[in-house]
Structure 1
Amino acid sequence: MNAAAPWRYVRSLWPRFRGVAVVLFLFCVIAWGLDRAFPLPPTPQYSPIVTAADGSVLHAFLNPTQKWRMKTELREITPALRKAIVAKEDRWFYWHFGVNPFALVQAAARNLFGRGRTTGASTITMQVARLLEPKERTVGNKLLEIVRAVQLEAHYSKAEILQLYLNLVPYGGNVEGVKSAALLYFQQPPDYLSLAQTITLAVIPNRPRGLVLGRNNGAVRRERNRWLRRFGAEGLFARQDIADALLEPLEVQRHAAPTLAPHLARRLVRQHPRQAIIASTLSRSKQTKAEDLTRNYVRRLHELGISNAAVLVVNNRTRAVEAYVGSADFQDAFTQGQVDGIQAVRSPGSTLKPFLYALAFDRGLVTPKLVLPDVPTNFAGYRPENFDKHCNGEVTLERALAFSLNIPAVRVLSEMGVATFTDKLREAGFQRVGRDAPRLGLSTILGGCGASLEELTNLFVTLANSGRYAPLQWIVSRPNATASPARSKGEVALVSDGAAFLVTDILSQLTRPDLPVSYESSTHLPKIAWKTGTSYGRRDAWSIGYNREYTIGVWIGNFSGQGAPALTGADVATPLLFDLFNTIAYNSPNDWFQPPASLDFRLVCAETGQLPGANCPNQLIDYFLPGTSSTQRCEHQKEVLLSADGRYAYCRACAPVAGFRRELYPNMLPEIVAYKETQGIPYRRLPPHNPECQLVRGGAERAPSITSPLPNTEYVLNRGEKQQLLLSCTTDNEVRQVYWYVNDRFLRAAAATERVFFRPAPGPLKISCADDHGRNTDIRVIVSEL
């Protein structure tokens, strides 16, 4: 047969069917035009719900029309629910195109001749059309309903139409949809219901006013059992399943909608306003435990004038937030419980010190055993004090961090530079610090900036993750996901793994003042690294801790900003932190952080923590970062030339040719000498310098340093008060006496560590200080009177 014959045959048929094709084409064009001209009603407005990582509902909100209409997902429509609804409402649902013609003819005959039960022959699709556009029941509206049903079938699959139906069916009052009814009456999602509960929800929509759960349970149970027997007779479900369902009692009442994690729920709904279901990373069990612990703990603090707290729990491995407690009681308007303490910007106190020291490790400025001065110091006008108002003279860095000493921290920040520190905080997501950076000074490290619990907690998550920073995760990547959160942007290495470990190692030590008294010998002390903080005026108490698995941040205080005498991180925040770890992370693996390969050990001088010099007999082992840590040699002792009787010291210029001896003396900073002098701490003092020496030893760098007043500063004195100006300085430890001059006129002589007060005349002043070795320092200030 010729291959072209079939095509010739088809062409021969074309004239016969051309008219039919044209009619079909015109019909499709008209249908498309009508569909565009009269689009389907918008999808229903759902009640926003926030779910936990396992899919359970944490918090639900009314929709904009004040109805409970929670979206039922396709996966939540169980085979039992689907079979019951289809068998009861529309047996030919999967076979028709939105309208069942035979049912329409049958219903028309019944209604016309009055035989049998009057019915509208509505399919499930037609019911969806009516629920989307409620109208009065008239013949015209019925025809429009039929058209809409066909339109729905053209736009949606059968599964989606059934889903729409189950989201719109009424259950009395302001409850609509299977999921809303399941949660509000059975406190379970639809896919967790028993067969009896499923059939109960299938039969109520036909009589939502007469079959009200919690009010007409007897009538509902009878109707349920009637349909169960009918389904059993039709073989829709197994005989034993029907028998068990018939015996199931029906004792239900309406419950309140879930209200866990109210602060995070509102935050996520604001961020995703058009999303019906927001899948958060929260763990339902951890959230419940954290809320209960926080609420009960704060109740015990009320008598101390403390009314609120906030808690954040983060999984270190995924950075997923697993518990989010914005306040102790969201419903307590008196204590401003609706304020979100996780996002509230407060003074962070001392909680930034670990990050500062980690940065200092990476810049080679310090090592754990390095000795730092802890004495009253004037940093260009800023005079910090330790929390207990006490100075320790000299301390190692690890002790300065473990005891949260302020003065050493300010010294390290001064050496590093405030801009360097705030730039790193900006990289770590500190928004207020980023905005205020140009105005921030050395007080930043003691809480002189603004930070939130969210930012601070993630900073400690960074330390727990070997110094790598990434944003916290709030929602999972898929609504049905139970493990992995949405992927974040690339991680940023803020500090090295070695620096992060050194900080962790120090923060996990137990010999520290912020260990609560009740835990000193407790077996319930968790294995964590933690840091406390207390803001100025005792307005904020912080305690943030971490192990390998979790980081938990705790803030306690009053949202009004009112301070309280008992409000300190150690006394009130850390006990809650320990309780949270013992409750939430009790089954965490018992492994701990291990030193990374970037760290090594070396011997250092026990007196200074520096590499041993020529006169360092006492040495100990210290961590260091090879290629980064300082290699400066220790010079804690200096060689001094003495007269034979030890009464005088010589400089190189005045030392005799013979008749002198060499001895080692402490080589201390001037501020350390001044501290020992004022505190009466004995130390080995240099003998006076050779009185016959006529040369000035040393240079400008060894001259006295005037610590008060500050150079180039204006001082305003009140005429009505006896205010005076303070003169003080620091000098080398061999200086015994200094001489003060004002405008080149001698004022008085004083001991090197003595504080001198005088009342100057208004105007510009030149203040000079000379020591007993002839070295001199000048500064200029302005004095005015009011």
Structure 2
Amino acid sequence: MKNIRGQLKKAGKWLLIASGGLFLLFLLLQWLFPLPDQVEYSTIITDSKGEVVHAFLTKDEKWRMKTSLDEISPLLRKTIIEKEDQYFYYHPGVNFLAIGRAMAKNVFRLKRTSGASTITMQVARALEPKRRTYFNKFIEIFRAFELEWKYSKDEILQLYLNLVPYGGNIEGVKSASTLYFNKNPDHLSLAEITALSIIPNRPSSLVMGKNNDLIVKERNRWLRKFAADKVFTEKEIQDALSEPLNATRDVVPKLIPHLAWRLRKQGGDIIATNIEMNTQTRVEKLVEDYARSLRLKNIRNAAVVIIDNQTHKVVTYIGSSGFYDTLDAGQVNGAAAIRQPGSTLKPLLYGLCMDEGLMTPKAVITDVAVNYEGYAPENYDKQFNGYVTMEYALEHSLNIPAVKGLKMFGKDKLVQKLAACDFRQIKKDQKKLGLSLILGGCGATLEELTGLYSSFAHEGKYFKPQYTRSVDGAPATEEAGSQKGYTVMSPAATFMINEILSKVNRPDFPLNWQSTEHMPKIAWKTGTSYGRRDAWSIGYNKNYTVGIWVGNFSALGIPELSGANVATPLLFKVFNTIDYDSDQEWFTQPKDCESRIVCSETGMVPGEHCHNTVTDFFIPLISSTAPCNNMQEVMISPDEKLAYCRICMPQAGYKKKWYKTVSAEMQQYYDEHHIAYEKIPIHNPNCEKVFAGGAPAITAPRHGAEYLISSKHPEPLQLTCQTGNDVSKVYWYINNKFYKTAEAKTKQFFIPEEGPVKISCTDDKGRNRDVWITVKYVNM
């Protein structure tokens, strides 16, 4: 008895050593021959419901779409395991009893009549295809153990469903269900799953769409076997047996092509978008029809981006009016193309100026000719408007007040805000940008502008638009951005901008728009780029932000192209389609925004001489509280021909009078437009005061500029300046030599000598200003 126990103990010891040795050998072989499990899948794009809307072939020209774990429905799992490997969840990758049974049958019948490949072994064979020999069978068994060691059973089943062949270049159940049944695997019926499951056994003779009768016959044989084995209920089997098979190979969906190609670059097997196909298809039809109506004007393309403001998801993305339109470069992605944004950045600038205390909606700005070191912006209509309020300037999209606002706020600060809102080209070009930035002298995309405008619907907080979402619990393939958001503007400034942009009695309201009876209330801004190459209209309410671009990908300028008349009608059509007759409440006035009475002539807190007032919004502790300076008291002679300062004021024989404060630039505007105003008399010529400030500002020529003049036909240069209200005459000097005496507001001309030229201007108070220019004569 002791000898038997000793022998058993010794045998157990050797068995343990042998097992350990085999395990170590397995680990060594695994290290020497790693599992070839790097599978290339077709990149597939899905919509918000998980349906495949676009896909791309693999490098080896296969449709191999990855089936996610949540798409393996209980019905699919149960059917495949029952047919292929009933003991899948119980064996270690190899069913030794099945192998023994198959070997016995093959030996006694002297031919191969039965196989014993488990699902795991079939995966191993699919990963590393080899000829069917006994040696390769051992390799297959080893690979099966490797798979079981590395993956869970559900993951192995997922690999099987991803790799199983279904005829031609179709691999995987998702590819088969999409191409044959136009649905996802988790929506397949028992009859459809069974029909698909038999194709891999005879892919050449069981071709879907060609041999459907034979497939149905084989399918029904397996269904009856399932019934005999009590796998499914009798009713389930009968329903499956009676289901017809009308499937044929279809083409892979090629929807949302512009977004699909854009997202493909970031990589990933399954890229799940937030596109709502119902909205996408309706808006696509709108864009296609609208673009067709514009072709008589030689305007051929449009792009649309729609963001759901409740979730920050991009629900519609249209890059052109027709992706397959080869005549008009339909494959160009207009939503991602860098274009000049026109006036679309003005609302942001004005909102930021209000946050800095520089403006309020009723603040008055001068819309007159200006020159910033040679940059002289012009309004769209080439006209000037004199005194305007900030809200008027925004409603009418005036250029000069916007440039003045940017000068006050600071170009670099605006660029920093835009860079934080993901304006990539602006961030890249920030050192090269100037004041023309606010008029569209920069590069931006429809994606970026629509994302920026969505911040107006979130009290000034910018949330990065979400193009994608996570799959199988994995992070989204594209960063969705912080859910905390980036504060672009205060809620108060945002509310004031929303109020201005939501008015319908605006000059950019399209004249050819038929009806707004059922259109939801929206705020919107238009823009037209230089040369009329791009027309923009971007609108929003609490539900959606819609960005519209209309133009030609060739950058051809069209005289009829404008944001108001071309882009805005499409914006209204889109809102009427996606938010028809919406009664969504509008944005409410935040706590940090209050109302006050201001002077209507300056927008400042009324002074004792302010008789006309209006109500204005303002931000407490931020907006300026300086009293109105619209009037100034001047000491004048009894005949009102001379003005005195406190130095030259006589002890008697003078009187005091109030005059409106008129800046030098407004005096020039009034004079040029023959607008009468009460002028302050000229200053006492006998005054001995030395005027240190208020020297004339030479507006032409520009200081530091280089001028090229034709030597054959030289043209004179213009001399202009801006002076104070009390200046009547100025004296011009060229290279320190007296040139001419002139009225303060008149233009003079001269032909300069070649080389550096000094130009001086002295007013009748003795105040002087110098500029230097360089002149070159050329043959032209």
What TM-score do you get using the length of structure 2 for normalisation?
A: 0.92
- Cα distance in 1, alignment partners of residues 563 and 349 from structure 2: 19
Corresponding residue number in structure 2 for 1:69: 64
Q: Secondary structure at the match of 1:134?
A: coil
- Cα distance in 2, alignment partners of residues 642 and 530 from structure 1: 51
> Which residue, out of 745, 752, 775, partners 1:760?
752
> Which residue, out of 277, 282, 297, partners 2:290?
297
1:694 aligns with 2:686: yes
Q: CA deviation at 1:15?
A: 5.2
Corresponding residue number in structure 2 for 1:121: 116
Corresponding residue number in structure 2 for 1:474: 467
Change (3 A) 1:159 1:775: closer
Q: 1:331-379: per-residue Cα shift (whole Å, max 9, x none)?
A: 3344333333333222221111111111211111111101100011112
Does structure 1 conserve the Cα–Cα contact (< 8 Å) formed by 2:691 and 2:765? no
- Cα distance in 1, alignment partners of residues 136 and 708 from structure 2: 87
Change (3 A) 1:166 1:782: closer
Which of 321-330 and 476-485 deviates more?
Answer: 476-485
1:261 aligns with 2:256: yes
Which amino acid in the other structure matches residue 750 of structure 1?
A
Does structure 2 conserve the Cα–Cα contact (< 8 Å) formed by 1:53 and 1:483? no
Does structure 2 conserve the Cα–Cα contact (< 8 Å) formed by 1:463 and 1:500? yes
1:540 aligns with 2:531: no
Does structure 2 conserve the Cα–Cα contact (< 8 Å) formed by 1:526 and 1:578? no
Q: 1:397-439: per-residue Cα shift (whole Å, max 9, x none)?
A: 0111111100001111112222222232223322222232222
Corresponding residue number in structure 1 for 2:51: 56
Q: CA deviation at 1:547?
A: 1.4
User: Unpaired runs of 5+ in structure 2?
Assistant: none
* Aligned ranges 1:543-558 → 2 under 5 Å: 543-558=537-552
Which amino acid in the other structure matches residue 238 of structure 1?
T
* Aligned ranges 1:636-655 → 2 under 5 Å: 636-646=630-640, 649-652=643-646
- Cα distance in 1, alignment partners of residues 373 and 308 from structure 2: 42
> Which residue, out of 305, 323, 329, partners 1:312?
305
Q: CA deviation at 1:12?
A: 12
1:33 aligns with 2:28: yes
Corresponding residue number in structure 2 for 1:684: 678
1:385 aligns with 2:378: yes
Q: 1:674-717: per-residue Cα shift (whole Å, max 9, x none)?
A: 11111122333345556xx4116783433332211122333221
Corresponding residue number in structure 2 for 1:6: none
1:569 aligns with 2:563: yes
Corresponding residue number in structure 2 for 1:414: 407
Q: Secondary structure at the match of 2:265?
A: helix
Does structure 1 conserve the Cα–Cα contact (< 8 Å) formed by 2:460 and 2:488? yes
Q: CA deviation at 1:109?
A: 4.0
Change (3 A) 1:524 1:565: farther
- Cα distance in 2, alignment partners of residues 717 and 112 from structure 1: 104
Q: CA deviation at 1:618?
A: 0.8
Q: CA deviation at 1:72?
A: 1.6
Does structure 2 conserve the Cα–Cα contact (< 8 Å) formed by 1:260 and 1:287? no
Which amino acid in the other structure matches residue 417 of structure 1?
G
Corresponding residue number in structure 2 for 1:277: 270
Corresponding residue number in structure 2 for 1:740: 732
Q: Secondary structure at the match of 1:702?
A: coil
- Cα distance in 2, alignment partners of residues 301 and 81 from structure 1: 51
Corresponding residue number in structure 2 for 1:170: 165
- Cα distance in 1, alignment partners of residues 689 and 283 from structure 2: 67
* Aligned ranges 1:283-682 → 2 under 5 Å: 283-479=276-472, 488-489=481-482, 491-519=485-513, 522-586=516-580, 590-646=584-640, 649-652=643-646, 657-658=651-652, 660-682=654-676
Q: CA deviation at 1:480?
A: 6.3
- Cα distance in 1, alignment partners of residues 674 and 681 from structure 2: 18
Which amino acid in the other structure matches residue 615 of structure 2?
I
- Cα distance in 2, alignment partners of residues 540 and 730 from structure 1: 36
- Cα distance in 2, alignment partners of residues 101 and 149 from structure 1: 12
Identity of counterpart residues, as a percentage? 49
Which of 506-515 and 278-287 deviates more?
Answer: 278-287
Does structure 2 conserve the Cα–Cα contact (< 8 Å) formed by 1:639 and 1:663? yes
Change (3 A) 1:479 1:526: farther
Does structure 1 conserve the Cα–Cα contact (< 8 Å) formed by 2:69 and 2:472? no
Which of 172-181 and 123-132 deviates more?
Answer: 123-132
- Cα distance in 2, alignment partners of residues 371 and 745 from structure 1: 42
Q: Secondary structure at the match of 2:57?
A: coil
> Which residue, out of 239, 248, 256, partners 2:243?
248
Change (3 A) 1:216 1:245: same
- Cα distance in 2, alignment partners of residues 764 and 36 from structure 1: 80
> Which residue, out of 698, 704, 709, partners 1:712?
704
Change (3 A) 1:516 1:670: same
- Cα distance in 1, alignment partners of residues 581 and 102 from structure 2: 64
- Cα distance in 1, alignment partners of residues 78 and 648 from structure 2: 110
Q: CA deviation at 1:549?
A: 2.7
- Cα distance in 2, alignment partners of residues 641 and 38 from structure 1: 102
Q: C-alpha root-mean-square deviation of aligned residues, in Å? A: 2.9
Does structure 1 conserve the Cα–Cα contact (< 8 Å) formed by 2:690 and 2:766? no
Which amino acid in the other structure matches residue 239 of structure 1?
E
1:142 aligns with 2:134: no
- Cα distance in 1, alignment partners of residues 32 and 362 from structure 2: 79
- Cα distance in 1, alignment partners of residues 560 and 455 from structure 2: 30
Which of 253-262 and 473-482 deviates more?
Answer: 473-482
1:98 aligns with 2:93: yes
Does structure 2 conserve the Cα–Cα contact (< 8 Å) formed by 1:278 and 1:479? no
- Cα distance in 1, alignment partners of residues 102 and 8 from structure 2: 42
What TM-score do you get using the length of structure 1 for normalisation?
A: 0.91
> Which residue, out of 750, 774, 777, partners 2:769?
777
Which amino acid in the other structure matches residue 725 of structure 1?
L
Corresponding residue number in structure 2 for 1:45: 40
Which of 374-383 and 87-96 deviates more?
Answer: 87-96
Q: CA deviation at 1:392?
A: 0.8
Does structure 2 conserve the Cα–Cα contact (< 8 Å) formed by 1:549 and 1:588? no
Q: CA deviation at 1:175?
A: 0.7
- Cα distance in 1, alignment partners of residues 6 and 332 from structure 2: 77
Which of 733-742 and 400-409 deviates more?
Answer: 733-742
Q: CA deviation at 1:26?
A: 1.7
Q: CA deviation at 1:87?
A: 2.6
Q: CA deviation at 1:624?
A: 1.1
Q: Secondary structure at the match of 1:701?
A: coil
User: Unpaired runs of 5+ in structure 1?
Assistant: 1-9
- Cα distance in 2, alignment partners of residues 649 and 565 from structure 1: 52
- Cα distance in 1, alignment partners of residues 520 and 352 from structure 2: 27
1:192 aligns with 2:184: no
1:85 aligns with 2:77: no
Change (3 A) 1:119 1:12: closer
- Cα distance in 1, alignment partners of residues 265 and 9 from structure 2: 60
Q: CA deviation at 1:617?
A: 0.9
Q: Secondary structure at the match of 2:525?
A: strand
- Cα distance in 2, alignment partners of residues 774 and 753 from structure 1: 17
Q: 1:534-557: per-residue Cα shift (whole Å, max 9, x none)?
A: 111112222222212322222222
Total equivalences in the alignment: 773
- Cα distance in 1, alignment partners of residues 121 and 60 from structure 2: 23
- Cα distance in 2, alignment partners of residues 146 and 378 from structure 1: 82
- Cα distance in 2, alignment partners of residues 35 and 244 from structure 1: 47
